[in-house]
Structure 1
Amino acid sequence: MKIWGLKACDTCRKANKAIAAQGVELESIDVRADGVATDDLNRFYDAFGEALVNRRSTTWRGLSEDERAGDPIELLREHPTLMKRPVIEHQGTLYLGWGADVQAAILD
C-alpha cells in the first residue's frame, strides 16, 4: 500500500498509524520532501478531478487569481502541498482523504 501525504499533517499521521496497526506494509511518500511524480499526479487527477486541489489550504489562499486559474496539474506540481491528502493506493484503487468511507474500504 502507498500513501501520499505530509509528515506534519495530523490526518496523514492518523492514517499511517491505523494502517500500520493492521500490519500492512506501507510506503509513505511525503509530497513536500519527496515530491509527486507527474504520472501519479495525472492518475490522481483522473480519479478525483478538482477534488484533488485543496482550496481551503493556506497555500491556496496565498495564490494569486491568475495562479488559481492555471492548469491544476501544473499548480500541484509547483505546490505539492495543495494536494488534498492523504491519497492512498490500495490493491489498485485510489482513495482520497481519511474519512469513514476510506477507512471502511481499506481497514479490515
Structure 2
Amino acid sequence: MTVYGIKNCNTVKTALDWLKKHNIEFEFHDYKTKGITDARLKDWSKQVGWESLVNKRGTTWRQLDEVTQAGVKNESSAVALMKEKTSVIKRPLIEHDGKVLALGFDEQEYKKVFKK
C-alpha cells in the first residue's frame, strides 16, 4: 500500500498517524521529492474523477490566477496542472494494487476501508 502526499501537509500527517496507530503498513510517496507521472494521474482520474483529485479548497489552487483556474476544465488540463503543481492534488491518496482506497482523510471512511 502506498500513501501519496506531501510530508509537511497537516492532513497527510493526521492520516499517517492514524495508519501507524492502527498498525497498517504503508510506503510513503512524497510528490515534492519523487514527483508523479501522467499515467498515474490519468489512472486515478479514471477511478475517482479528475474533479475529486484537484483540491480547489487548498492554498495552491487559491493562489492560481483566474485564467489558470478557468483553464482546468477536463482531465487533460487537470493532469497537466497536477503534474506541474503537485500541491494542488488532494491528499493523501492511498493506493493498493493500483486501486485508490481513499482520498483525503476521513476517520470514519478509514475505519470502513481498513476495517478498524
Q: TM-score range by the shorter chain?
A: 0.7 to 0.9
Q: Take 1:20 and 1:55, find their aligned partners in 2: how far apart are those partners?
A: 28
RMSD over aligned CA atoms reads 1.7
Q: Which residue of the partner structure matches residue 52 of structure 1?
A: 53
Unaligned runs of 5+ in 2: none
Q: Which residue of the partner structure matches residue 66 of structure 1?
A: 67
Q: When the two structures are superposed, what TM-score results if normalisation uses the length of structure 2?
A: 0.82
The 8 Å contact of residues 85 and 97 in structure 1, kept in 2 or not, is answered as yes
Flag the structure with higher helix content.
Answer: 2
Q: Which residue of the partner structure matches residue 82 of structure 2?
A: 76
Instruction: Among all aligned residue pairs of Structure 1 and Structure 2, give the percentage whose two residues are the same amino acid.
Output: 31
Q: Take 1:42 and 1:32, find their aligned partners in 2: how far apart are those partners?
A: 19
User: Judging changes above 3 Å, is the alpha-carbon distance between structure 1 residues 76 and 92 closer, same or farther for their aligned structure 2 residues?
Assistant: closer
Cα deviation, 1:64-106, whole Å, max 9, x if unaligned, reads 2221214000000110000011000135531211112134212
SS at 1:56's partner residue?
A: coil
Q: Which residue of the partner structure matches residue 12 of structure 1?
A: 12
Q: Take 1:107 and 1:12, find their aligned partners in 2: how far apart are those partners?
A: 20
Aligned residue pair count: 108
Q: Take 1:79 and 1:107, find their aligned partners in 2: how far apart are those partners?
A: 33
Large movers: runs of 4+ above 2 Å: 20-25, 90-93
